[in-house]
């Protein structure tokens, strides 16, 4: 992993694929990404600029054991912390992704050994593989056959996380610009999903729901008065 970072000086962090081993050190037929994401092409789907919203929307899908960071990036990461936030590889990944300096490679650069004494291991990630599949459909707007209310909830949840981590992590003009661009893309997807969700409803039911969210501050659907009139 260190050799990969040396060969890519523009990246301060790396998230890589790896080989799974059992407790007898026998290599398993699937890789980490095969097991947790359903395929090993995550690096092609998530260029560096897309990591921040994906982390906010899907919580931590980056396994700490498969992440390496450049030593020179450590001071900037430490300076981003608030006292009430726990130390976690998720926050490190968020900070690096906000700067556009976290990269992924499907190269198998490490071994991950599963054994009975592990506190957590990959079990939680195995159980989330179907969630990642749903997230991929949402983000790529492959919504046919999905419950559109669930799609709306997905985007509303992700935007709330983005707003929270903005307060925690955004410190520079570059980070602010990166955040605004990612937020605008996610907000546009929420608006489109909301339109598709509400479209089959009777006119009055649709307007009543939009007006309710607008009067509450739009915190769920992120509605404004123009949305009430136009949707």
Q: CB burial class (10 A; 0-12, 13-18, 19+) of residue 19?
A: middle
Q: Is pTM, for the whole model, over 0.85?
A: no
Residue appearing with tokens 């992590």: 169
**Token couple for 208:** 């009543």
pLDDT tens readout for residues 100-150: 888 888 888 988 887 666 655 555 554 454 577 788 888 889 999 999 989
Q: How do the domains of the chain map onto residue ranges?
A: 2-139, 148-230
DSSP secondary-structure letter at 13? E
The C-alpha atoms of residue 60 and residue 154 are separated, in whole angstroms, by: 15
pLDDT tens readout for residues 11-35: 899 888 888 888 888 988 888 877 7
Helix, strand, coil % in the chain, rounded to nearest 5: 55, 15, 30
Residue 193: the pLDDT is 93
Average pLDDT value for residue range 210-219: 70
**Token couple for 12:** 């301060």
User: pLDDT: is 46 or 96 the higher one?
Assistant: 96
Nearest Cα to Cα of residue 135 among 154, 157, 152, 149:
154
**Token couple for 59:** 């919580």
The C-alpha atoms of residue 14 and residue 157 are separated, in whole angstroms, by: 26
Nearest Cα to Cα of residue 110 among 228, 207, 31:
31
pLDDT tens readout for residues 80-94: 665 565 667 888 888
Exposure of 48 in the CB half-sphere (CA atoms within 13 A): 16
């Amino acid at each position: 992993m260190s050799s990969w970072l040396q060969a890519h000086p523009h990246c301060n962090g790396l998230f890589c694929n790896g080989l799974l081993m059992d407790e007898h050190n026998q290599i398993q037929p699937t890789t980490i990404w095969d097991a947790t994401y359903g395929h090993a092409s995550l690096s092609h789907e998530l260029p560096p600029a897309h990591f921040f919203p994906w982390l906010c929307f899907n919580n931590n899908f980056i396994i700490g054991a498969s992440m390496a960071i450049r030593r020179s990036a450590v001071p900037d990461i430490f300076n981003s912390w608030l006292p009430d936030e726990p130390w976690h590889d998720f926050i490190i990944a968020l900070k690096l992704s906000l700067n556009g300096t976290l990269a992924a490679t499907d190269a198998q650069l490490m071994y991950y050994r599963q054994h009975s004494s592990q506190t957590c291991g990959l079990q939680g990630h195995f159980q989330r593989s179907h969630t990642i599949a749903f997230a991929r459909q949402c983000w790529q707007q492959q919504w046919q056959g999905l419950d559109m209310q669930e799609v709306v909830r997905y985007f509303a949840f992700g935007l709330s996380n983005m707003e929270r981590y903005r307060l925690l992590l955004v410190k520079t003009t570059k980070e602010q610009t990166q955040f605004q661009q990612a937020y605008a893309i996610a907000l546009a997807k929420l608006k489109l999903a909301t339109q598709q969700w509400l479209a089959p409803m009777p006119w009055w039911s649709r307007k009543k729901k939009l007006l309710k969210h607008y009067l509450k501050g739009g915190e769920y659907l992120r509605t404004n008065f123009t949305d009430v009139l136009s949707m």
